[in-house]
Amino acid sequence: MTRRPVRIVTVGDELLEGRTVDTNSGRIQRALAGREAPVLGVSVVPDEAAAIATALDATAAGDLVFLTGGLGSTPDDLTREAVAAWAGVDLEQDAELASRLERRWRARGINLKPSFLKQSDVPAGLEPVDNPQGSAPGLVGDLRDRTLVVLPGVPGEMAALLPLVLERLDARGVLPPAAESCLWRTAQVAEVTLVEACASVRDRWPGLRWSWWLTEWGADVRVAASPAAAAGDLAAAAAEVDRILDGIVFARERRTLPEAVLELLIARGRTVSTAESCTAGLVAGRLTDPAGSSAAFRGAVVAYADEVKTARLGVPAELIAAHGAVSREVVLAMAAGARERFGTDHALALSGISGPGGGTDAKPVGTTWIALDGPGGAHARRYRFPADRSHNRRLAVAAALDALRRVLEAGDDVSPWHQVDSWRGDR
């Protein structure tokens, strides 16, 4: 199959007024990565039929066009109408969609207004795809020599619909198949460091396609086969990358760090608890993101105030007075306290200065101690995160989860930080 050019049009006043950042186009681009479907452009247009039509006019016959946004039931949502008008087709009510909408609103105790029913209107020629998270269906089909995919703008709904829509496109033979590729997901390592680490492999197998990107957890690397590479190149290069990145990879496929950790906990029959100061429950919150986490996660103490560290985790007040709340001694005592009180195999503890205030010369903003207590003993490491409050907290969550991942993977007698120390210089 030949290449299939892709254009993305995101619709919404809120995107143009900067109230909302467009994350949808990036998600579509990542979902298409590895296909011979290059994204030639992204346009962001207001909730106006004329602007949507202009953006559609700027696409070319043969394009695969993704439109997101403007599928709600409020008066400013008019993407359905705009697409129908641009294509010169009618909007037709889909009876099944209409009755599903009616049930949905009734279940929420909201009386159906006629205006809500516009979400069951479908431009003739497109077919609806059920939205697992919301009321606006996706729409897929061919109009004016383009393949159109119309998706809601709410990021969670868009993300839930996207794989279903790609399946539909694959079934219709619209998308070139994905090229073979390998993925490495890492936490705690900078993107540039990964790029450098893989430089020799890139030089050796130049025909492959490399990409790197930042994630919520750290950085990912992907290598894909390409027509320029010989058969076997991908496997040979991947084996070399495996060797180089040994120990710092938390997943080789699309899995989040909490999913990887939870899977390891369950496979090993282990339980975990947390004691959190600076992250204030975010490690526990992320550990319980995956369904089924209650099999391994028992509970947490958020000890934001120092007296709480003493009263609820048994950290001696003198220890805090002597070393400060952000110290190796205190974070180890927090971890031991949580492990004992919750009766878990492992306990993670975090105490740090996220900022913007609270930093000193000796302990600048970003200084964060993380401890992991478990059957093989207790370990602690100091980090110096370089970012602002919210990002420092996110980096701490990823570092803590990744430490637990490392011990679960490599065994209780392994330091959670031996590997990462050789990659980072921020102790």
> In sequence order, which ranges of 43-113 are alpha helices (DSSP H)?
49-57, 79-87, 95-107
Based on the shown chain and the rule CB under 8 A, indicate whether residue 51 belongs to the binding site for its own copies: yes
SS3 state at 179:
coil
Binding to its own copies (CB under 8 A) within 67-96 occurs at: 72-76
Q: Which residue in 86, 184, 205, 297 binds its own copies (CB under 8 A)?
A: 297
What gap in Å lies between CA 38 and CA 209, rounded to an integer? 13
Q: Which residue in 61, 95, 109, 243 binds its own copies (CB under 8 A)?
A: 109
Listed residue (395, 280, 287) closest to 344, CA to CA: 287
Determine contact, residues 233/240, Cβ cutoff 8 Å.
no
Listed residue (385, 378, 348) closest to 363, CA to CA: 385
Residue with token string 């938390």: 250
CB of 64 to its own copies, least distance (A): 14
Q: Which residue in 85, 91, 117, 190 binds its own copies (CB under 8 A)?
A: 190
Q: Which residue in 292, 316, 377, 411 binds its own copies (CB under 8 A)?
A: 292
Looking at residue 136, the DSSP 8-state letter turns out to be: P
Q: Which residue in 235, 289, 316, 411 binds its own copies (CB under 8 A)?
A: 289
Based on the shown chain and the rule CB under 8 A, indicate whether residue 305 belongs to the binding site for its own copies: yes
CB of 345 to its own copies, least distance (A): 14
Of the pair 107, 171, the CB lying nearest its own copies is at 107
State the distance between the two ends of the chain, measured CA to CA, in whole angstroms: 51
Listed residue (283, 232, 290) closest to 260, CA to CA: 290
Of the pair 23, 127, the CB lying nearest its own copies is at 23
**CB under 8 A: which stretch of 59-67, 212-220, 326-334, 402-410 binds its own copies?**
212-220
Token pair recorded at residue 146 = 């383009």
Q: Which residue in 5, 36, 39, 409 binds its own copies (CB under 8 A)?
A: 39
Instruction: Give backbone dihedrals phi and psi of 269, rounded to 5 degrees, phi first.
Output: 65, 35
Of the pair 268, 391, the CB lying nearest its own copies is at 391
Site track 129-148 with its own copies (rule: CB under 8 A), x = hit: ---xx---------------
CB of 423 to its own copies, least distance (A): 10
CB of 140 to its own copies, least distance (A): 20
Based on the shown chain and the rule CB under 8 A, indicate whether residue 386 belongs to the binding site for its own copies: yes
Based on the shown chain and the rule CB under 8 A, indicate whether residue 102 belongs to the binding site for its own copies: no
CB of 280 to its own copies, least distance (A): 4
CA-derived radius of gyration, the chain: 25
# binding residues, its own copies (CB under 8 A): 106
Binding to its own copies (CB under 8 A) within 331-360 occurs at: 341-342, 355-357
User: Amino acid letter at 300?
Assistant: A
Based on the shown chain and the rule CB under 8 A, indicate whether residue 294 belongs to the binding site for its own copies: yes
CB of 23 to its own copies, least distance (A): 6
Based on the shown chain and the rule CB under 8 A, indicate whether residue 301 belongs to the binding site for its own copies: yes
Q: Which residue in 2, 95, 108, 203 binds its own copies (CB under 8 A)?
A: 108
Query: Which residues are within 8 A (CB) of 239 and not within 5 positions of it... i.e. 6 or more apart?
Result: none
What gap in Å lies between CA 386 and CA 403, rounded to an integer? 19
What gap in Å lies between CA 104 and CA 110, rounded to an integer? 9
User: Amino acid letter at 140?
Assistant: V
174: left (phi over 0), alpha (psi -120 to 50) or beta: alpha
What gap in Å lies between CA 5 and CA 88, rounded to an integer? 23
CB of 242 to its own copies, least distance (A): 21
CB atoms within 10 A of CB 379: 20
CB of 86 to its own copies, least distance (A): 16
Based on the shown chain and the rule CB under 8 A, indicate whether residue 21 belongs to the binding site for its own copies: yes
Based on the shown chain and the rule CB under 8 A, indicate whether residue 163 belongs to the binding site for its own copies: no
